[in-house]
Amino acid sequence: MSLKRNAEVQSRGPARKEGPGYTLWLILLTALGLLNTFLLVLLLLRPAAPPEWKPATRGELFQQEAAGGEAEELQPDEALENQPEEALQPESLLVAEPDPPAAETESERPPVEAREPSSIRLQVLNGTDTPRLAARLAEALTRKGYDVREKGNARRHRGGETLVLSRDEDSFAALQVASELGLGADRILIEIDPELVDVDVSIVIGSDHLQLRLP
């Protein structure tokens, strides 16, 4: 009998020992299976994503206009939020700033109308030690048509360059006389003398008298 039992035990093999490690692995496998099932359910229940907004092309806008409807390109809220603050302001607030006035150049200014030489009363003074300069310039200006009222020696502005003195606030006559002599506007001074009631412009001949352009 004992021999028969030993034979049965050997034919069955050694008995499997189930310890705490085997139970732990079984619990982990079960938990992983449940986690996979939960993730699969979440993927199935996730709502579908909204279609991505794309701006309409020119061809699509032309097709919409050809179909008879006004082509209106709608933008999502996110696109409006990303626009600069100036683009979101109403049209009534976007007032264009006026252009600054262009600077008036010398060529654009209206030319000053020249006066008749006979209407300009002159005083010719010699501011140098060279004799007869005032007489010779007075004769040249008289031939040009100017009205020479006085000539003589200067008591002021002696020894310097030739000057043209305007005896009136209006310096146009002095500017015309200076141009006649080849002088620039930097040689013109406004000196009003109440005693010279019949003189518009005084000429003080200076040390550069040889460079004057005689009429």
**Domain coordinates of the chain in residue numbers?**
117-211
Query: So what's the pLDDT on residue 42?
Result: 80
Q: What is the pTM of this model?
A: 0.49
pLDDT band at 74 (very low <50, low <70, confident <90, very high): very low
Burial 64-89 (b: 16+ CB within 10 A, else e): eeeeeeeeeeeeeeeeeeeeeeeeee
Residue 103 in contact with residue 120, Cβ under 8 Å? no
Q: Does residue 23 have a pLDDT over 50?
A: yes
pLDDT band at 71 (very low <50, low <70, confident <90, very high): very low
Sequence-ordered list of residues with C-beta below 8 angstroms from that of 97, at least 6 positions apart, any chain: none
pLDDT band at 109 (very low <50, low <70, confident <90, very high): very low
Beta strands in 54-111 (DSSP E): none
For the domain 117-211, what is the CATH code? 3.30.70.2390
pLDDT band at 41 (very low <50, low <70, confident <90, very high): confident
Question: How distant, in Å, are the alpha carbons of 23, 38, 116, 146 from that of 34?
Answer: 17, 6, 116, 121
DSSP 8-state symbol, 214: -
Q: 112-161: per-residue pLDDT in tens?
A: 568 899 999 999 999 999 999 999 999 999 999 999 999 999 998 998 99
The CB density around residue 208, as the number of other CB atoms within 10 Å, is 13
Task: Average the pLDDT over 178-183 and give the result.
Answer: 94
